[in-house]
Structure 1
Amino acid sequence: MTGKARLHHEITTGAVPATMGSTNESPVIRLQRLSFVIYEHPDLNTFKRFAQDFGFEEASSTADETLFAGYGRDPFVYVARAAPADAGKRFVGAGFAAESEDDFKKACALAGAEKSDTAGRHGGGLAVRITDPNGFEVQICWGQREQPLPPRGISAEAGRKGRPVINGTLDKARRGEFTRLTPGPAKVHKLGHYGYNTDQYEKTCEWYSQTFNLIPTDVLWAPGHEDVDVATFFRLDLGEEYVDHHCFLVARAETVDKPAETTVHHSSFEVEDLDTQMMGHQWLLDAGYELVWGIGRHVHGSQVFDYWHDPSHFIIEHYADGDVVNNKYKTLKAEAGNMAVWGPPVPVIWGGEKLTA
């Protein structure tokens, strides 16, 4: 029996030992990257049409579930499921790729861990799911077949892989070549980050940082109350390797004007460049979808953002040009509220004033 087959047998039969023969004494489960999010939609077919306009590629589909891919290494980046007939929309959780088989075994040995059915799943591999303090799923995957990467990111410029060359005021690097853009969806590369608002802010931050190699890049405090943290941008600690500024956001749920609750905030997907993002923005506008906020540039993470409502009224984002950091970066603390360097006014749902025409 091969190592992968033996591991699959152990997960299936519940025979993964508590000690796991681990060579890594740390209790922390090391994750290599964020891979996918999982949502349930009341009308799966309507979401599938939106997904195509958003820039996803359909990887596989059944009557009740469709997997969507980008052009990055992950076999899929978005799992769309049909919501049960007696239920509404629901954010289910997210999936990560383990850094090693040893880390995957650690996840299997956690209290309450359950094997996730990957039979016939696009990309194969093994998966185990655990539940976070808010009841959301965290799937840990190992042994998936990765997609081959293109030589360059896919731009909206006709026939080009990689961003267009930019002519500056003095440096005219693009000589005798024209920039010609192709109308269409903004091709998605990967899932960059997701986040949610929670009424268990401290407990959630503690659980994720103690269970996984997630560390804070930026922490924001409540305006006028420096001792009250209200948001943490977590990244994966991969040592000297540069990683995205954040892959996971935890925000404190509002409690002043309404009962505290835990809700998904948004999921965000990377595209190649600003031209691709702008063309995708126009494509979604022309298709009649509902814009939430954009296009603008964030402060924390620096990425150019573009937020939309999908047909189920979940918030989904395109982003480009985000920061990357490594272990030389020290956690920065700042006052919350400074959300954009430039862009439209902050929407009402995130504390802004109502927009006028």
Structure 2
Amino acid sequence: MSEIRVHGPDGRTAHQDLHSERGALRGEHPGRSRNPVIKVADLAWLEFEKPDLERAEVFARDFGFGVAARTESELWLRGTFAGTPCVVIRRGRGSSRFIGPAFRAAERADLDRLARATGADVRDVGVPGGGKAVDLLDPSAFPVRVVHCGEPLAALPEQQPLLLNSGTEHRRTNAAQRPPREPSRIQRLGHVVLETRVFAQALSWYLDTLGMIVSDFLFLDGQRDRGPTMAFVRCDLGSVPADHHTLAMHLGPGTGYVHSAYQVTDLDSMAAGGAYLKERGYRRSWGIGRHTQGSQLFDYWRDPDHFMLEHFADGDLFSCHVEPGWAPMSTSGLAQWGPPATRDFLGASPSPQRIREVIQALRGDNEMDPARLLGLLKATKS
């Protein structure tokens, strides 16, 4: 694919001075498709299956979700912003598992266009408020749903950001600061991170089929010539700024869910909510800190089924004019500040399941090989 560059009036490329010290080298992946089938507007929701909906609801409320709908077999969770629910958990008989993401189509006609291009059908989807969907499989065999919903959920009351005094700017006088110890109130779903053994194929699928564009690429030290091994991917809303990443994917020996992220009001909301979660007996995976790619404040937690969820605030917003940045993959590069990344967050513990995944990946027909595996192990220690 040929290189795409957008230049400013001084001749500098669009990514310079914005988010990355490095851009693409000549001939490297441009980070977007020239003629995508459609351009999705956002993530709509994520789908999970769990045997214990009661326990799932207790954690969801403690983490800061509201409940949009509840039946014997389904739990729909929402944030305070108007729009679609952000998580659906269906009752299952086996172990808990992630099903897949649902993306929001910008227009109803996009579903027809997508169905014609893929040979899929447009069908009703049982979301609160009603809607239509096209169901697909990505190259990693993840079910991916593209939806256009009917009646949006109304907005709920917000946690208000605290007024802060800064230097000589005194916005708060004769008033003390006392944020309540309560759950961080989730505003919306921000992004999902997936691991895949077929990174290049999966990335091309999301760019070509859903019209997403790359904000940042990461590559393994000494292996840049083999292409990137992680991408932070955003929706292409043209000149309207979008989240730095709505989807992130990285090459790995497994195929599955890594974490999902949910926006909260500000740092105080995040910290007070984290203190509340700790008092309730939940386990922090990593945080609080500020990421490098995406710049967001973060705090990661494990739910009772061991899924990782992130509270985030103050993330980057990019229009379509910003080109991908390129950086080496490393643990030290994950955050600008904060505690060191934990082994739990990195998935670096040598569990029996992880060992099986490595063996299967090295034996299978995919993008994992010994050099890639050693590079990934090196990145977790750098």
The alignment's TM-score, normalised by the length of structure 1, stands at 0.83
Matches within 5 A, 1:1-357: 27-83=36-92, 85=93, 87-111=94-118, 113-115=120-122, 117-119=124-126, 121-149=127-155, 154-155=158-159, 161=160, 163-228=161-226, 229-253=228-252, 260-337=253-330, 338-349=333-344, 350=346
Structure possessing the higher relative contact order (Cα contacts under 8 Å, 6 or more residues apart): 2
What letter corresponds to residue 39 of structure 2 in structure 1? R
Matched position secondary structure for 1:63: coil
Change (3 A) 1:114 1:43: farther
Change (3 A) 1:135 1:112: farther
More strand by share: 1
The structure in which a higher percent of residues are helix is 2
Between 125-134 and 276-285, the greater mean CA deviation after superposition = 125-134
- For the aligned residue pairs, the C-alpha RMSD in angstroms reads 2.0
Distance in 2 (alpha carbons) for counterparts of 1:91 and 1:35:
15
**8 Å Cα contact 1:114/1:130 also seen in 2:** no
Question: Where does structure 2 lack aligned partners over 5 or more consecutive residues?
Answer: 1-34, 351-382
How far does residue 351 in structure 1 lie from its aligned partner after superposition? 6.7
* Residue aligning to 2:365: none
Q: Who is 2:13 aligned against?
A: none
- The one-letter amino acid of 1:226's match is R
Partner-residue secondary structure (3-state), 1:209: helix
Q: What are the superposed Cα offsets for residues 305-330 of structure 1, whole Å, 9 maximum, x if unpaired?
A: 11111111111111011010102211
User: What's the CA shift string for 1:59-108, capped at 9, x where partnerless?
Assistant: 1111111100101122310011112x2x3221111111111122121223
Q: Distance in 1 between matches of 2:164 and 2:325?
A: 32
| Alignment partners' CA distance in 2, 1:115 and 1:28 | 15
Give the alignment's TM-score, normalised by structure 2.
Answer: 0.78
CA offsets per residue over residues 139-170 of structure 1, 9 Å max, x none?
111142223446xx822xxxxx3x11110132
Shift of 1:352: 7.1
* Cα distance in 1 between the residues matched to 2:119 and 2:50: 26
Amino acid at match of 2:335: A
1:114 CA displacement: 4.5
Are the counterparts in 1 of residues 65 and 77 from structure 2 also a CA contact under 8 Å? yes
Offset, 1:206: 0.7
Task: Kindly provide the CA deviation profile for residues 220-253 of structure 1, in whole angstroms up to 9, marking residues without a partner as x.
Answer: 0112322241110000111100110000001010
Q: Distance in 2 between matches of 1:71 and 1:304?
A: 19
What amino acid is aligned across from residue 209 of structure 1 in structure 2?
Answer: L
Could you say what secondary structure the match of 1:109 adopts?
Answer: helix
Give, as a single letter, the amino acid of the residue that structure 1 aligns with 2:98: F
